[in-house]
Every structure is written in C-alpha cells, then in structure tokens.
Amino acid sequence: MKINRVKFYSPEDLATGHLLKKAEVIIDSYESKVIEDINVALELFNCTLYLDNKVYFQDWTEKYKIHLNEKCKRIKKDLSCYFAEFNVKNIEKNVKDIHWNYIEDFLMLFCRYKLYNRIGEEVFNRLLEKNILSIQQVCHYQYLVDYYETVVKEALLNNPINAELFFEKFVVDKGNAISKKLYFPKSLTKVEVNNLIDSYIDTEENNLNYLRLIVSNHNTKELSVSDELKWKAKKRSEEQEKMYFKGNSGMAFGYEIVFQKDLSEPVIAKLEGMESSITFDKTWLEDNLDYATIMQNFIWIFGFIDGDGRITFVSHPSEISAFEGVLGLKSKNDYPKGAAFQAKGILAKLMTVAYYMFLKEQDINLEKVIEWFFTIYLNQEFKVENYYAVLPSEGTSYREKCRDILPEMEYILSQFKSYVEYSFINHELLEVSSSGLLYEQIPSLIKKKYVYSKEVLNGAFYYLFSDQSGLGYLGKPEKDSRNFFELMIKNNITYSEFHKHQQLRLDHLCELGYIKIDTQGLISWINERRIKVLYELYYNEVISYYRRHPQIRDELDLMDHEGLIYFSSSLFSKPEQDYFNYYLNNSRFQNGPKLRNRYAHGTLGSRPNIDEATHQDNYLVILKLFILIVLKVNEDFCLYDMIKQNEQSE
C-alpha cells in the first residue's frame, strides 16, 4: 500500500519544509467531523505534531499561528472521540490496513488513550501473531511491555531473530542517529536471553554482523554472553565469512616508503589512484644521526604529532563518512575504526618499521635512543633526576621483547605521574603501589592544557560542518560543497539561494550568533575567531590552549565563561587516551589488539602456535606507541617551560 500522507519525523528533518506545507493546508481547511479511517486519523495526528514542536514558516504571523493551533485543538478532540470507540470487537478491523509508516504513531496513541484498559492479552497477542504489530515496535513503549508482559515475553522468546533486539539496546552504537529506547519484560532471565542467543546462532537467518557482536561482547550486568556461546558464534561467523568472501579479493590499495639520496626536500609525498608513496631524503637522515634529531624526526619528518602536540594517528568521528557510519554494526564498546584511521595506522606502521630498520643499518638501536631521552635528556634539559628506563636489548627474541617492553612502558608513565605529583620521582612509593595505571589518570605539568567542547555545541557542529545537514547543497554545481562551512569559505552566499527548509536552519544559526544576514541577504560570519575554534574542536576534538595565539586564547576564555567548552589537564588528550586503550587493553574497547593484556596473561606470549613474525609485528606497534609517549612527555615539559618563561617575562 503506497502512502502520500504527512509524516512528522523531527524538527530538523530535511523533508520538514515540504511536509509542513502539506500539514498547513490540512490543518487550515479542517472542519470537525467523524473520523472513520485509521490512516486519516494518524495523518491528522502527525499534522498536529508540527505545531506542537513549534515548527513554523518564518512568514507565519502570530495571529495565523493562533488560528492553526485552534484548529489543532479540534483535531485532537476528534481523535480522542475516534479512539474512544476502539474495543476488543473492532480493533483488528480498524487497524488491519494501517500503513507501516504509522505503526509507531498508532502505538503512541494506544498508550495515550489507554487502549490497553480495553484490549486484553488475547486480542493483543493476535495483533502480534498476524504481524499487524511488530514486537520490535511494541518494545519501544514501556507501558505496553509492562501491561502485556506475558504476551511480549513469549513473542520475544519464540523468534530467535529477536536476539538482535538485545544487542540493539545494550551493544550497538547508533552514533548520532536518533533512536527510540527498547524495553523488555522484567521477568526475562539471563538464562532465557542466553538460550535465545543460542537459538539465534543456530538459525539460518542470523546476521554475520550480530554474530561478530556476540563474539566480541563486553559483558555487562545488562547483557552477559557465556564464553561457550562466544566460541560457538565465532565458529559460525568464520563459516559465513568463508562463504561470503570466497573469491572476493576486495579493493587493493598500497603505500610505498622510499629512502632516496639528495632530494630537494626532506620528504615528498605522492598519491596516484589507490597507490601512495612517501620518499624521504636519505642523505639528510644519514647526516643527522644524533639522538635528539632522531626523536625530532618523528615530529618534523614523519608527522607523529602536529603543531598542537596532538597525536596524528588517532581516530576522529569527523573522519568517518555517513556511508561508513551505517555500514555494518558497531558496538558501543568498539573503537571507531574508519577507513581514514586504518590508512593512518598502515602509514604509521610502515614509517616506524622503515626508520627502525634504517637506523639499524647505521648501527643505532632505537630502543637506546628512547632510553637516552628519559635517563639523560630530561635531566640535562629539565633537571629531572632518577628517571629509569631499560628497554629490550639486542639478541632477545621478539616474543621476549614484547613481554619485557610493556611493563617498562607502564613504569615510564608511572615515573612521569610521580614527578608531576611530587616534583620528583618517588621510586619507593612506586615500588609499594598496587594500583594499576590508567591512561586517563596520567596528569600534566600544565593545569589548563586541553580544551574540549560541551554537548551544547553539537547543534552548531552539525549545521556548520556535517555533510548531513544539507546546508552545503544549493543545487548549483559551481557552488555546492560538502558542508556549510566550506560553502561559506569558497563563495559569497545569499539567504535567498537556500530552500525554505534550509532557511529554517540558517535562522537557527543566526539565533545562535554564528552568522548574520545583511540588507542585501548576504551571509557572513559574526565572529571568525569563534568559527576557527569550532572548526578545530569538530575536526580534532581537542585544542592545546597554550599552543594557540593570545587572541584565540581570549576567545576560548570567553567560550568557557559562556559554558560552551571546558578545560582539562592530562598528559594525553581524550582521543589519545582512547588510542592507547584501544591498542593495549580492553578497559574501554572490545575490538582492539589488547597487546598489554594478552602478553601479560599469556594468551600471546606463551602460545606455541604464535610465530616470531607475529611477535615482531606486535613489537613494532608497541615501539610506535613508546615513541609517541616520548613525544608527549617532551611536549609537556617543553610547553611547561615555555609557559614559565612567558610568565617571568611579563
């Protein structure tokens, strides 16, 4: 059954302008009458939702709004009369032709008009059995789940596919998508849920994405999956992967790292189709082999951190496209691994391996460079005494190196934490300490180091920078851009060039104080400095306060006063904390390598079937992380020293 009726989705929906016009005509022309069709009733209800949510056209006068709201009161009165006639005898007849797009609206009104007081369990069960109502939609309404608990529970357990609903509620990450809550009967037991999951794994209708979620599930009190079921789901998912991807080699792309003598620049990058090459000047690298320059090369040549001291290999939500966001299922406990993150990871690994092997050819052990930084450099430059560092030596296997380097990494960070807290490294206290190291708890020497946005800015981020807001599209190929920010940067834009539904969003940006419209309709920024701040916070998630120009710092202070941002002090920014947690443990993420945990617990270090090449690969990943720690510690000391010098000169 096709439908061409009004449907209210949300005030921000792209179809709002078109549907609001249709709703306006229906409301304005409405005269009280007896409603006889369920779809007519639900369309009228949707029309009223626009006014209930104060979605108006800009040219509506206050008098006209009052007129439409009075009409809505009549509609609501007639809807009340219509639903008052529903009973066990006629409900099935009245709702059998309800359009699927209106089912949620019907259930909402079912609760609002308390039809459950007139519709017994037997009739409600029949509506479910005949697929007039779906159990998933029913579970969006707690009143229905509680009132029809026995019926809902039986319906859930009778179909293995319903196991997916439990992962939708407790596991799947919806991102920024607006989704309704799911409610389940309170009498459901963990055993019953696990039995349902067991049946799901066995059914031919299971979904590979959900099988993967079962395997990697981070057990919680809300949803706990037994190890046996995880193992069973792993076997089943492996079978499906072989079947689905047999003969499919995927899309090939590659990186090439080259060392070449006598280049005109220290580094030259080229991109040709799906192939990228980065060429480094071997002559310059061979002529600069002192330890300080070697570590600096990871900043200025290899780009491990940027000008704000931020690690460049972390994953940012802004890098994940809308297509990637809906591709497959992701757990709330998954680290966001988009294509951009994976590409950066490959590049970081190749650069680490290439430079590690290059230095070996020069008889330089990178581990010794790291030891030098902590034991000698920090003392010479910043008077830090008794910093100990002993990294794995030559001649040991990579398996042994992995097991040795990870505890050393933790003690390096514990020493830094101790120095920040006591102004010296208290080794005696560290020896008796039994608390584990959390990357979130490693402090910084700088009290006002990082800047983060508060949730109140999410709306501005969406309108200004998201490619989903629709504000970058004018229907003019010569001007169309990915988002509103790019549209503004590249063009002179007037208000009249936008469609009605887009103008509603522009009005909101005006109200928020980000744009202004002059008498000719030309749109411009109100405060360019603030837009620059928002740009950084959207794309990089964090700003280093003292790495910014004084004028930008003044703007940040003002935004803090307005409650838009907040400051924090830690060695690693939040994206960097997540990055380390992803690689090393399962404290936050379930989809990472868990290198620290797996070597500490023996699942990698003690297994005889893990070859040396795997341990070598893991070791170089860990070494990359160690280099990043060196760069972050150095950044903290250098920035702290710069701040002190500036304060003394004022």
108 is a domain residue:
yes
Q: How confident is the model at residue 469 (pLDDT cuts 50, 70, 90)?
A: confident
Residues 577, 534 share a domain: no
Higher pLDDT, residue 253 or 303: 303
Residues 343, 418 share a domain: yes
Nearest to 167 by CA among 144, 197, 188: 197
Q: What is the DSSP string of 604-630?
A: TTS-TTS-HHHHHHHHHHHHHHHHHHH
Residue 1 is predicted with a pLDDT of 44
HSE on the CB side for 195, CA within 13 Å? 9
pLDDT exceeds cutoff 90 at 419: yes
pLDDT exceeds cutoff 90 at 442: yes
Residues 189, 45 share a domain: yes
276 is a domain residue:
no
Residues 527, 540 share a domain: yes
Residues 412, 370 share a domain: yes
Residue that terminates a domain, selected from 544, 568, 592: 568
Q: Among 19-23, 254-258, 562-566, 602-606, where is mean pLDDT lowest?
A: 602-606
Residues 430, 318 share a domain: yes
Residues listed for the chain: 650
Residues 374, 468 share a domain: no
- Which of 474-483, 527-536, 601-610 has the largest mean confidence? 527-536
265 is a domain residue:
no
Q: Over pLDDT 70: what percentage of the chain?
A: 94
- According to DSSP, the β-strands at 565-568 and 450-453 are antiparallel
Calpha distance 352→354 (Å, rounded)? 6
pLDDT exceeds cutoff 80 at 322: no
Calpha distance 368→67 (Å, rounded)? 80
Nearest to 320 by CA among 331, 335, 302: 335
CA–CA distances in Å: residue 304 to residues 91, 298, 628: 65, 6, 7
Residues 53, 143 share a domain: yes
pLDDT exceeds cutoff 90 at 295: yes
Calpha distance 630→418 (Å, rounded)? 16
pLDDT exceeds cutoff 50 at 2: no
pLDDT exceeds cutoff 50 at 593: yes
Q: What is the DSSP string of 335-360?
A: ----HHHHHHHHHHHHHHHHHHHHHH
Strands of the sheet with 543-544, listed across from one edge: 543-544, 450-453, 565-568
Residue 251 is predicted with a pLDDT of 53
279 is a domain residue:
no
Residues 400, 363 share a domain: yes
Q: How confident is the model at residue 435 (pLDDT cuts 50, 70, 90)?
A: confident
Using one digit for the tens of pLDDT, what is the confidence trace for 203-223? 999 998 899 899 888 888 999
Calpha distance 214→234 (Å, rounded)? 8
Average pLDDT over residues 404-422: 95
Residue 325 is predicted with a pLDDT of 60
Domain range for 185 is 16-199
Average pLDDT over residues 570-577: 97
Residue 252 is predicted with a pLDDT of 54
Residue that terminates a domain, selected from 199, 234, 251: 199
- According to DSSP, the β-strands at 254-260 and 275-281 are parallel
Using one digit for the tens of pLDDT, what is the confidence trace for 311-320? 999 999 888 8
* Mean pLDDT rounded to a whole number for the chain: 90
Using one digit for the tens of pLDDT, what is the confidence trace for 78-108? 999 999 999 999 999 888 889 988 999 999 9
Residues 90, 41 share a domain: yes
pLDDT exceeds cutoff 50 at 255: yes
Residues 523, 457 share a domain: yes
pLDDT exceeds cutoff 80 at 149: yes
Distance of CA 216 to the CA centre of its chain: 18
| Number of structural domains found in the chain | 3
Average pLDDT over residues 6-15: 76
Calpha distance 646→537 (Å, rounded)? 26
Average pLDDT over residues 340-368: 92
- Sign (positive/negative) of CA torsion 157, 160, 165, 166? positive
Residue 332 is predicted with a pLDDT of 81
Q: How confident is the model at residue 39 (pLDDT cuts 50, 70, 90)?
A: very high
404 is a domain residue:
yes
The residue written with tokens 């980065």 in the block is 278
Calpha distance 597→89 (Å, rounded)? 62
Residue 481 is predicted with a pLDDT of 92
563 is a domain residue:
yes
Single-letter amino acid code for the residue at 294: I
Residue that terminates a domain, selected from 521, 545, 568: 568
Using one digit for the tens of pLDDT, what is the confidence trace for 375-406? 999 999 999 999 999 999 888 899 999 999 99
229 is a domain residue:
no
Residues 548, 605 share a domain: no
Calpha distance 374→372 (Å, rounded)? 6
Using one digit for the tens of pLDDT, what is the confidence trace for 157-185? 999 999 999 999 998 887 655 568 999 99
- According to DSSP, the β-strands at 275-281 and 543-544 are unpaired
Calpha distance 33→15 (Å, rounded)? 29
489 is a domain residue:
yes
The residue written with tokens 């779906």 in the block is 134
